[in-house]
Amino acid sequence: MVKWLVFSRVGGISFHYGCQLGFKYQHKRGLVNIKLKWVKDKALDAVVTDERDLRAACTLATIISSTPQCCLPIYRLNRHRGQLGLPGDLRVSTLIRRYPSVFLESHVLDTRGSHVPCFSLTPEALKLRQEELHILKQTEIDLLDRLRKLLMLTHDLTLPLQTIDQLKWDLGLPYDYHHSLIPHHHQLFSFVQLPDGRVGLKLKAWDDCLAVSQLQKSYASQQKEEDLQNGRLAFPIGFTRGFGLKRKCMEWLREWQTIPYTSPYTDASHLDTRTDVSEKRIVGVFHELLHLTVQKKTERKNVSNLRKPLALPQKFTKVFERHPGIFYISKKCDTQTVILREAYDHQQLLQKHPLLEIRERFARMLREGLLDRSRGLYKKTADVDLEGDPPRHVYHVETSDN
C-alpha cells in the first residue's frame, strides 16, 4: 500500500515568473543535507521481475522477423548480444531455448557441412509481431512527440544515437527507428556528426506546444490564483506503508514542495547547483523523462550518459535516493530500475500505452512456454536435436561462429 502526500496541487503557472522567483529564492537557501531511507516496495519490484527476459526476447523476435526468411543462425543473433542486456554468463542460445513457445530451433549447414543452430518464430509469435507493427504505425505521431520532447530536454536539441538506443525500448521506439522512422520525417530530424565522432540525432525546430511538462498538464485544472502569482508547483509524493517519515524530514519535504518549480524545458543555466531550487529542477527533469517512457520507468544506467546533454551537475542521480516518495529504485534482476511512483497503483500502471498490450501478451507467451518446457512438453524435440537427427529445415550459410 502507498501513502500519498501531495502538499500542493497546482498548475498552469507562469514559468518565466517562476524562474525569476527561483533565481531569487536560491540565494536564501542552500541544499539541505537530508537523505531519506530506501524501503523495499514488493509491488513495484514485481513490475521489474515480471518482465525478466521480456526485452531481450522481444528484441530477438524483432530481429528474426525482420529478415526475408524470418530465420537466423545463432552466430548472426550473437552479434546483437550487446543490445539484449543479458547477464555475462547467459548465452543467447540458452535464452532462446528457454522459450520454445516463441522460438523454433532448426539447423543450417555451414561451409564445412557442420550443423549450426538456427532460430525462427512460432506462428503465434509471428502474428503478435505483425500486430505490434500495426500498433507502431497507429501510434507513430505519439512516438514522434516523445522523441521530440526528449530532444527538447537537451540544451542543443541533440542526443547521440547511442544514448537514444539505450532508451528506445522504454520510449516505445521501433528497434530500427533510425532506419524505419527517422528518414520518413526529415522535416523534424537530421543526423549530425558530433565532436567526439559519434552520430547524433538533432531536432530541427523547437515546438512551444510540446514544451509543457506533464506536471504542468496534470495540475492545470487545479490551479489557484495565489499559486499563479508565486510560481510554485508540487510533485505527488507517495511512500510505501511502514516508511516511517520523521518529523524533521516531513518538514523539509513540505518546505521543499513550496520551492518555485522550474520547467525542464526552460534554460536553467542561471541556477546554482548547490541549492534546493536546482535540485527541484533536476527532479522535474527526470519526472518528465520518466513520463516520456511508456511504462514510466527505466534502468538507472540508461540515464548515466545524460548529464552533459541535459546540462546536469555531477552526481545528478542522487536525487533518486533523496526523493524516494517520487522515485522508487528497484534492485531486482541484477540492475537498478528507476520507477515513477505516481504512475502506479500497487503493481498496476494507471495509464497504458497501446504498445503495452502487445508486450503483456508476449510476456504471457513466454511464461506459458517456460512452464510447458518445465513439464517436459518440448523434451522430445530437444532430444532429436541433441542426438543429431536430421533437422527439420536446412539452409546453407557461408560461415559459422558456433
Residue with cell 543473433: 77
78 in the same domain as 64: yes
> For the chain, what percent of residues have pLDDT higher than 90?
62
At residue 15, the pLDDT reads 38
Is the CB of residue 21 less than 8 Å from the CB of residue 260?
Answer: yes
277 in the same domain as 294: yes
Residue with cell 545463432: 74
Q: What is the dihedral of CA 325, 330, 336, 338, to 10 degrees?
A: -40
277 in the same domain as 292: yes
Instruction: Give Cα 24 to chain centroid, integer Å.
Output: 35
Contacts of 63 (CB under 8 A, 6+ apart): 72, 77, 80, 175
Which among 249, 237, 275 is positioned nearest to 37, based on CA atoms? Answer: 249
Q: Is pLDDT larger for residue 291 or for residue 372? A: 291
Residue with cell 521489474: 48
For residues 162-184, give the mean pLDDT. Answer: 96
Is the CB of residue 102 less than 8 Å from the CB of residue 61?
Answer: yes
In what helix (H) or strand (E) does residue 65 lie, and over which residues does it extend? helix 54-65
121 in the same domain as 9: no
**pLDDT (tens digit, 9 = 90+) per residue, 209-248?**
999 999 998 876 565 556 545 668 899 998 887 676 777 7
In what helix (H) or strand (E) does residue 152 lie, and over which residues does it extend? helix 140-152
Is the CB of residue 30 less than 8 Å from the CB of residue 275?
Answer: yes
Is the CB of residue 210 less than 8 Å from the CB of residue 145?
Answer: yes
Asked if the structure places residue 62 within a domain, the reply is yes
310 in the same domain as 237: yes
Asked if the structure places residue 176 within a domain, the reply is no
At residue 226, the pLDDT reads 61
Task: Give the mean pLDDT of the chain.
Answer: 84
61 in the same domain as 31: no
Asked if the structure places residue 138 within a domain, the reply is no
At residue 109, the pLDDT reads 80
At residue 166, the pLDDT reads 95
What nine digits make up the cell of 182?
A: 527517422
124 in the same domain as 8: no
Range of the domain at 118: 50-130+358-396
**pLDDT (tens digit, 9 = 90+) per residue, 61-99?**
999 999 998 999 999 999 999 889 888 889 999 999 999
Asked if the structure places residue 337 within a domain, the reply is yes
Is the CB of residue 396 less than 8 Å from the CB of residue 108?
Answer: yes
Distance CA 53, CA 90 (A): 11
For residues 165-189, give the mean pLDDT. Answer: 96
**pLDDT (tens digit, 9 = 90+) per residue, 38-63?**
889 999 999 999 898 999 999 999 99
Asked if the structure places residue 139 within a domain, the reply is no
With helix as H, strand as E and coil as C, how does 80-107 read? Answer: CHHHCCCCCCCCHHHHHHCCCCCEEEEE
278 in the same domain as 238: yes
367 in the same domain as 298: no
370 in the same domain as 339: no
Asked if the structure places residue 179 within a domain, the reply is no
Residue 57 CB burial class (10 angstroms; 0-12, 13-18, ≥19): buried
Asked if the structure places residue 143 within a domain, the reply is no
Strand 199-203 vs strand 297-299: parallel, antiparallel, or unpaired? unpaired
Task: Report the domain count for the chain.
Answer: 2
Q: What is the CATH number of the domain that holds 62?
A: 1.10.10.10
For residues 141-145, give the mean pLDDT. Answer: 97
327 in the same domain as 247: yes
287 in the same domain as 226: yes
**pLDDT (tens digit, 9 = 90+) per residue, 342-390?**
999 999 999 999 999 999 999 999 999 888 777 776 644 433 333 333 3
Q: How many CB atoms lie within 10 A of CB 248?
A: 9
Asked if the structure places residue 163 within a domain, the reply is no
